[in-house]
Amino acid sequence: MAITLFTNSSAMSASNALQKANSTLSSAMEHLGTGKRINKASDDAAGLQVATRLQGQTNGMAVAQRNIADASTMLQTGEGAMDEVSNIMYRMKDLATQGATDTNTADSRKAIDTELTSLNTELSSIMGNTSYAGNKLFSDTTGKDANGATTTTATAKMGTAMTFQTGSESGETTKVDVSAQLKNVFTSINALSSASVQDTAADTTNNVDAVSGTTKANTLIDTLNTALDNVSSLRSSFGASINGLSHASANLTNMKDNTDQALGNIQDADFASEASKMTRSQMLAQTSTSMLKQSNSMSSLVMSILG
């Protein structure tokens, strides 16, 4: 190799090696500091595109899981209300059965009617006031317009079909429609609003025959049997929908876990590999610095030749 004053190829080689070592060292330290293999697009342009798509998918899945939890909670609220409706109807049937025997006096039947009226009031309260997150579940919210007429300001949440977003993509939804069963429950409750086990006196003016308390009580028993069937049908729909959402949640959890794993394989830093790379780069930087120092001293040979 020629000895020259202006061009020191050894120094240039050592300098290039030092720059490469420092660049690799800086990259390894960045990966170890952030825990990510891809911190900027230049780290892995193709990998970044895939990771971005996977990140959007897994974020959407996390939100969908919360949607499922909220939907299940709302349905459980409705089912809990129907459970209490069932309990009230059980008591009403007990009273109807009690009133169906002629051992009762007029005062006894009057007391039974008093409790039936109270229970009907509570049924109306449950159906009218049960709500979730400020939305009534069973009954429409009403108000007055400018003319004082009653208008519907908000439709009952369960009065129409409900759609729950249970996935991260469009179309990944679950529909729940209990409006038909709910309508049957309202029909049954309306039929119970005039429940009575008291004797009805004959009204010859309007050609209305007298009806005994026993007859009315037996009719009420039949009405309550139908009402309980309608309530149980609605509760069964709630249960089936909750179970369906539970399965959707389990499947979503599985998909999210695997998507997170795939995302981690692309963007997470391998600490063992990066630590090894950092150590190697540190050693190369040290040796390159040493060689640069040695190569720079070679220019002194020029002076020795001239001397």
- Could you list the residue range(s) of the whole structural domain that residue 14 is in? 9-35+269-306
- What percent helix, strand, coil does the chain show, rounded to 5? 70, 10, 20
CATH code of 79's domain: 1.20.1330.10
Whole-structure pTM value: 0.77
pLDDT in tens, the chain (307 residues): 556 656 667 777 777 877 887 777 777 777 777 778 777 777 778 888 888 899 899 999 999 999 999 999 999 999 999 999 999 999 999 999 999 998 888 899 999 999 999 999 999 999 999 999 889 999 988 666 666 666 666 789 999 999 999 998 888 999 999 999 999 999 999 999 888 888 877 565 665 567 788 888 999 999 999 999 999 999 999 999 999 999 999 999 999 999 999 988 888 777 787 787 888 878 877 777 777 777 766 666 666 666 5
CB 18 within 8 A of CB 238: no
| pLDDT at res. 284 | 78
| pLDDT at res. 200 | 79
**178, 118: one domain:** yes
Cα dist. 268→18, 20, 60 in Å? 27, 23, 20
**117, 169: one domain:** yes
**285, 215: one domain:** no
CA–CA separation, 163 and 170 (whole Å): 12
Is 236 within a domain? Answer: yes
CB 28 within 8 A of CB 37: no
Closest CA to 301 of 13, 9, 4, 1: 4
> How many structural domains does the chain have?
2
CB 52 within 8 A of CB 59: no
Handedness of CA 16, 21, 24, 27 (dihedral sign): negative
Furthest-apart CA pair in the chain: how many Å?
148
**170, 280: one domain:** no
Backbone φ, ψ for residue 199 (5° rounding): -65, 145
| pLDDT at res. 58 | 93
**24, 106: one domain:** no
**236, 167: one domain:** yes
| pLDDT at res. 192 | 93
Within 8 A by CB and 6+ apart from 230, the residues are 181, 184, 185, 187, 188
Q: Provide the 3-class DSSP secondary structure of residue 174.
A: strand
| pLDDT at res. 31 | 74
**251, 291: one domain:** no
**66, 168: one domain:** yes
Closest CA to 228 of 58, 88, 52, 74: 88
> Can you spell out the DSSP letters for 180-216?
HHHHHHHHHHHHHTT---S-B--BTTTTBPPB-HHHH
| pLDDT at res. 152 | 64
Backbone φ, ψ for residue 140 (5° rounding): -65, 150
Is 230 within a domain? Answer: yes
**90, 182: one domain:** yes
Is 40 within a domain? Answer: no
Q: Hey, which residues does 203 pair with through a beta bridge?
A: 208
**179, 290: one domain:** no
**66, 110: one domain:** yes
CA–CA separation, 108 and 118 (whole Å): 16
